[in-house]
Structure 1
Amino acid sequence: MPPERSTNPLWMLRFAITDLRSRISALKIFLACLILGVTLVAATASLYRVIEQSLLADTRALLGGDVELDTSEPLPDEALEWIRATGNISLVREFDTIVSGSGGDGFFRAEILVLDALYPLYGELELTPDEPLGVLTAQKEGQWGAIIDPLLAERLGQSVGDQIEIGAATFRISGLIQKQPDRSLNANWRGLPIMISEQAVEATGLIRPGSRVDYEYRVQTEQNLDTWLEEFEQAFPDARWEITTFAERSERISERLDQIATALILIAFTTLFIGGLGVANSIHAYLDEKLGTIATLQTLGLRRKPLVGIYLLQIGVLGSLAGLVGGGIGLGLSALAISLAGDAFALAGPDGAGGWFSLWLVPLLLSWLFGVLTAYVFALPALARALAAAPAGLFRGQVEAAPNEPRSWRIASYLLLAVYIGATLFWLPSPHLGFLFLLAVTLLWGLLEGLIKGLRRG
């Protein structure tokens, strides 16, 4: 074989693909394990990106304003006047109670919301029927109106027009809450919401001395938030109100999402890594069948460098194929989940080519990268032993792989594993949590190895 031809990259690629196609059926497990793992990684990562971008795109609506002042008693008049001079302010009063149907059947915990005329400062409140909040909560025929959550209506077995007992008053269910922009992200620990008017609160008899009522003042201002907060604190240095800005809420949401996403992505990577064991077994069986071919090529004069390149190209082609297929399936599952969720992720995510690149193309490219890296990490030791087989075995009628990979290949395997781990930690939303997980796995692996060696010696 002419040396100039054997070192031609195009010829090497063509030979690698031709040789691979002849026994591609033997690598079905290789491809299946990689595709499954990459699918989980791509689906989890892309869903995390979509949810994060959607939630953080309009944190003001989730908070209810640029700034929120939370207190257990009304703000003094001088504070309210100062705030109104710098922007708009909306008050939401919240307290918990137990509600029941008109017949007294079924008791459920609920969160009473008393909203003012400026609510909401950001976002839109969608009600059914589509009428103003003040109209639906007004008193008609001696009964105040109450707008309740659809899930609460289902639990009570009530619908619009029926009656509901709140404290000492009987309310008419005048509407259902379809979308609430500042709906809490903490799984409704306080109960499902019910909206009533300011005047209707007195009829319930629920607010008495000692009752726990949360006063949430939402502020909308065009001033710089840091400047606004500094001036507010200077004006009221002894205030004991809990102040939260939308920037702080964004940071909290992002941190919580990063922790959840890291845990889910680590599970996906664990699946991918376990699938790597199937990759190793599959490539080992494939190379065992190719030992005769490898020895024959060496005997015919093919140099070691192009021979190594041919089989490295084969692993790269398989890893790329599995990475792209698995990434495409994962993104497809993610898109399907988002479409089934309806408006749950319609909080105004990023638009344009940059948004699509971040949400879809980046996870696809990273899926391809980890598909290739996983293929090389688990296939390299088996490939090293196969390429180290002695061609002289052809004359004995049997070619056997070397019992151990050469030292240079072992070092290359460890370096590639380090790159794989580093890339994984770099991609994780919370690398610190990923490092702790890796440390725990390493310690457990060391303990198991020590236990096995101890049992063998015993």
Structure 2
Amino acid sequence: MSEIAAESAGPRPRAGGFNGGVILKLAARELRGGVQGFMVFLLCLALGVAAIAGVGSLARGLSDGLQREGRAILGGDAAFSLMHREATPTERAVLEAKGRVSTVGSLRAMARTSAGDATLVELKAVDDAWPLVGAARFAPDRPLAELLGREDGVPGVAVDPALLARLNLKVGDRIELGTASFAIRATVEREPDQLSGGVGFGPRALISTEALRASGLLQPGSLVRWSYRVALDGDGGDAEVGRLITDVEHEAKDAGFEARSRLNAAPQLERNVNRFTQFLTIVGLAALVVGGVGVANAVNAFVDRKRETIAVLKSLGASGRTVFLIHLAQVAALGALGVALGLMAGAALPFAAARALESVTPLPLAMSVYPRELALAATYGALTALAFAVWPLGRAHDVPVAALFRDQVAPESRRPRAIYIAATALAALALCGLAVYAAYDRRIALTFVGASVAAFLALRLVAGGVMALAARLPRPKRLELRLALANIHRPGALTPSVVMSLGLGLALLVALTQIDASIRGQLSSELPQKAPAFFFLDIPSSEKDAFAALAKDKAPGAELNSVPMLRGSITALNGVAAEEAEVDPESRWALRGDRGVTFAEDPPEGSTVTEGAWWPRDYSGEPLISFDQRLANGLGLKVGDRVSVNVLGRTVTAKIANLRRIHWETMGINFFMVFSPNAFAGAPYMNLATVVFPDGSDDATELGLLRDLTRAFPSVTAIRVKDALTTVNEVVGNLALAVRAASGVTLVASVLVLAGALAAGRRRRTYEAVVLKTLGAARARLIGAMAAEYALLGLVTAAFGLVVGSLAAWGVTANIMRIGFAFDPLGAGGAALAALVVTVALGLIGTWRVLGEAPARHLRSL
């Protein structure tokens, strides 16, 4: 105190100005006393900044890795794909004139054992040139030609180790694919282009293209994708790769190639990474916003502790602005320390993640220190600290010396000057603007910003309402309850801090719990009751009746429905190329790659025509198409518009005759695009069939039917719905676990802020406890009063979190995911109970310390 007074008694700044050197020197002297009371401030900033920096750096590392390894992931500089058919000699000659070419065929098939067991596999057929880039690794390690070639007339297959476990096989055993028998010669340990094919439903099996052609799996209209990878001679630059794709599209314009370059080797993966990154960044922002409450609490407590110092400074002539700047410099220095700690943790996180994931994932993580991502996280942290610190610091500007001392017994509620309110608003707007500008999906970011503002206003209103209600309630006869109610609404009460601290984090946790429960409920209860037992693909039209007869014979109580099925890609909308069409970003997925199409004389079950009319039977005019209404709206289509679709290498342009609302929950066979039958007159096609057991079935019945049908029709592919749902459940479970772990950052920040809020009120609580103990209050009664206070506040916060979190989950499931909302009372109640326990426990820990203070020491200072 004497050092500050002496420093302040030195040269004074001229009126209206300030001496920056003196301000910084005074701020530095103050900081020598340590960072007592600012641990929550530092931890909250560091936690949020670390989350944002770590997630951003990890995503950038993956993105750079995909770019760096794009050539190996794609299997060349460019890939040209066709559905249903192989390239003609002329089309292949166009590709071979550009560089080295490798052919890969991909399809789903059934792998069967001699014992009759069968399972779905993702079959990949490669030629001798595969892989053009990178290297495959097998166990045992043998040349590819030996592994897949014929030995004693039997071709070889290399399989995923999961296939061996699923069918109880080992290397050396045999499996049947289609009508051919294959010897298992190795397991696949590394497949350089694995990511380019996306995630499959079954384990991988690798055979030669020659063996695939002899397997009986290739029939006219079979769902097989042929991909032709082209590697340029030398190290072709991006411009050369672009010219390659342009030239091929021009020279083989009628082929219907779907082209992809090494620059977007795994577009679906990259989109999913971007979306998940945005979610995790929003979680980090939520942690920062919650931590902002801790910043405000810490700064309020800081100003409260510095009342005597501020009084001395002002009594020696320091202006309000000088006092503000001195303390702002201290808070800024501590904020910089918190941001620096967060940046160090965030920069190290990707390296730790890369090491942890190295042995379990094929993701190409390019780990480095990324200045842009770290700078973005630092800016988030700085703006958060500024937005939440200026207001409480500014309140000390115009307070007279007498009022500062009088606050000890009569605290006043004051607003800072307009300039500080404006500075707070500008910092908050800058934080919101940055969150929207830097987002992958700005609509989601805007929703988050709006929800955060609404949540803060709601929490403030809840806190104010609780205080007003506590003030108006009748005074209970029991002293502990009377003291608890008084503590809730008195000046300087902890009510706003406690409600704000836990409310947002708890609401987020409840929302995630309810969304997870809704997804699981949809997958585990509703769908299995409505879903078919099997989907059968690639049923040749010539065998459709025989297939149906055998299914009816083996499962008399089953219902079988079948429809024609082809694959086609949308090439143009009203004459505008698909890649150039202006459509809703949420619907652009329909223009990427192939989609299932069918044709029918009657509207499919489970759909309702909402606009236009269905075509008459035996229609023979220009091709017509029925389109899903929701997708049509996203693509900007209406009745009468025209859509061009490439199917089997032929482009069909059809007029939209009607729009349908598809009721996917009925689990019937349905397609976004249904053509009039004359659109594909004479075209080869396969059939898709479903088998439903209306009265239910057991595993033995289903597996027996699967065994009989796949043995009789080896080229047909079966997808058992129970197995698919199990796989999806595992993915959803892992994703939910990751989401909960990430969202735990926000909850940790909430608990830290709550602890900080209770610590910030320790001085006032100590004063109150000393007075009450002096007046004869027993420790047990004081503990009971404070426990009741914290329990009431915890109940209010829990109720808010339950209501708001459940409403948010309902909005997401009903309006975004389009699934039924399932309230999980156990999960939501557990989260609310945890919030209540944490509130009471932290409050009582602080209370125990307060009640341990000796009254005499504090009474002497009054």
- TM-score, reference length from structure 1: 0.86
The answer to whether the aligner puts 1:389 opposite 2:405 as a matched pair is no
Amino acid at match of 1:91: T
1:391, distance to aligned residue in structure 2 (A): 0.8
Amino acid at match of 1:88: R
Amino acid at match of 1:285: A
Which residue in the other structure is 2:228 paired with? 217
Instruction: Please show how residues 256-275 of structure 1 align to structure 2 within 5 Å.
Output: 256-275=272-291
Which residue in the other structure is 1:171 paired with? 182
The answer to whether the aligner puts 1:45 opposite 2:53 as a matched pair is no
Which residue in the other structure is 1:286 paired with? 302
Instruction: Please show how residues 309-388 of structure 1 align to structure 2 within 5 Å.
Output: 309-342=325-358, 344=361, 347=364, 349=366, 356=368, 359-388=369-398
Which residue in the other structure is 1:353 paired with? none
The answer to whether the aligner puts 1:3 opposite 2:11 as a matched pair is yes
Which residue in the other structure is 2:200 paired with? 189
Mapped to 2, the partners of 1:37 and 1:267 lie a distance apart of 9
Mapped to 2, the partners of 1:305 and 1:3 lie a distance apart of 17
The answer to whether the aligner puts 1:58 opposite 2:69 as a matched pair is yes
1:153, distance to aligned residue in structure 2 (A): 2.9
Q: SS at the partner of 1:22? A: coil
Conserved in 2, the CA contact under 8 Å of 1:99 and 1:108?
Answer: yes
Q: SS at the partner of 1:184? A: helix
Aligned with 2:155 (options 144, 160, 163)? 144
Aligned with 2:449 (options 438, 447, 450)? 438
Aligned with 2:419 (options 400, 405, 408)? 408
Q: SS at the partner of 1:94? A: strand
Q: SS at the partner of 1:201? A: helix
Counterparts in 2 of 1:332 and 1:156: CA distance versus 1, 3 Å: farther
1:436, distance to aligned residue in structure 2 (A): 4.4
Q: Root-mean-square deviation (CA), in Å?
A: 3.3
Counterparts in 2 of 1:422 and 1:394: CA distance versus 1, 3 Å: closer
Mapped to 1, the partners of 2:254 and 2:405 lie a distance apart of 94
Which residue in the other structure is 1:22 paired with? 33
Q: SS at the partner of 2:401? A: coil
Q: SS at the partner of 1:386? A: coil
Q: SS at the partner of 1:37? A: helix
Mapped to 2, the partners of 1:220 and 1:375 lie a distance apart of 52
Q: SS at the partner of 2:306? A: helix
Counterparts in 2 of 1:387 and 1:32: CA distance versus 1, 3 Å: same
Which residue in the other structure is 1:81 paired with? 93
Mapped to 2, the partners of 1:39 and 1:234 lie a distance apart of 49
Conserved in 2, the CA contact under 8 Å of 1:319 and 1:374?
Answer: no
Conserved in 1, the CA contact under 8 Å of 2:320 and 2:396?
Answer: no
**Higher relative contact order (CA closer than 8 Å, sequence separation 6+):** 1
1:147, distance to aligned residue in structure 2 (A): 0.5
Conserved in 1, the CA contact under 8 Å of 2:75 and 2:193?
Answer: yes
Conserved in 2, the CA contact under 8 Å of 1:35 and 1:322?
Answer: yes
1:321, distance to aligned residue in structure 2 (A): 1.0
Which residue in the other structure is 1:69 paired with? 80
Counterparts in 2 of 1:78 and 1:325: CA distance versus 1, 3 Å: same
Q: SS at the partner of 1:294? A: helix
1:401, distance to aligned residue in structure 2 (A): 5.6
- Provide, for residues 249-289 of structure 1, a one-character-per-residue CA deviation record: whole Å limited to 9, x for no partner: 57766555333322221111111111111221222122112
Mapped to 2, the partners of 1:282 and 1:144 lie a distance apart of 72
Which residue in the other structure is 1:301 paired with? 317
Amino acid at match of 2:390: L
**Larger C-alpha radius of gyration, 1 or 2?**
2
Mapped to 2, the partners of 1:210 and 1:250 lie a distance apart of 26
Conserved in 1, the CA contact under 8 Å of 2:70 and 2:264?
Answer: no
Which residue in the other structure is 2:716 paired with? none
Counterparts in 2 of 1:83 and 1:99: CA distance versus 1, 3 Å: same
- Provide, for residues 91-128 of structure 1, a one-character-per-residue CA deviation record: whole Å limited to 9, x for no partner: 111121122455444x4321111111111222222222
Aligned with 1:126 (options 108, 126, 137)? 137
1:5, distance to aligned residue in structure 2 (A): 8.3
- Provide, for residues 353-405 of structure 1, a one-character-per-residue CA deviation record: whole Å limited to 9, x for no partner: xxx4xx34444444333333222211111111133322123675848565111
Which residue in the other structure is 2:672 paired with? none
Amino acid at match of 2:218: I
Mapped to 2, the partners of 1:132 and 1:423 lie a distance apart of 53
1:446, distance to aligned residue in structure 2 (A): 7.1
Aligned residues: 449
Q: Identity of paired residues, percent?
A: 28
Conserved in 1, the CA contact under 8 Å of 2:148 and 2:156?
Answer: yes
Moved more, 374-383 or 179-188: 179-188
Conserved in 1, the CA contact under 8 Å of 2:112 and 2:119?
Answer: yes
- Provide, for residues 176-219 of structure 1, a one-character-per-residue CA deviation record: whole Å limited to 9, x for no partner: 22222221357523532211123433564333344322211122
Which residue in the other structure is 1:276 paired with? 292
1:414, distance to aligned residue in structure 2 (A): 0.7
Instruction: Please show how residues 219-238 of structure 1 align to structure 2 within 5 Å.
Output: 219-221=230-232, 224-238=240-254
Which blocks of at least 5 consecutive residues in structure 1 are unaligned? 351-355
Q: SS at the partner of 1:262? A: helix
Mapped to 2, the partners of 1:14 and 1:186 lie a distance apart of 62
Which residue in the other structure is 2:108 paired with? 96
Which residue in the other structure is 2:768 paired with? none
Which blocks of at least 5 consecutive residues in structure 2 are unaligned? 1-8, 469-862
Counterparts in 2 of 1:203 and 1:310: CA distance versus 1, 3 Å: same
Which residue in the other structure is 1:31 paired with? 42
Conserved in 1, the CA contact under 8 Å of 2:196 and 2:265?
Answer: no
Conserved in 2, the CA contact under 8 Å of 1:389 and 1:401?
Answer: no
Mapped to 2, the partners of 1:27 and 1:20 lie a distance apart of 11
Mapped to 2, the partners of 1:303 and 1:445 lie a distance apart of 33
Conserved in 2, the CA contact under 8 Å of 1:124 and 1:181?
Answer: yes
Q: SS at the partner of 2:227? A: strand
Amino acid at match of 1:122: V
Moved more, 91-100 or 153-162: 153-162
1:226, distance to aligned residue in structure 2 (A): 4.3
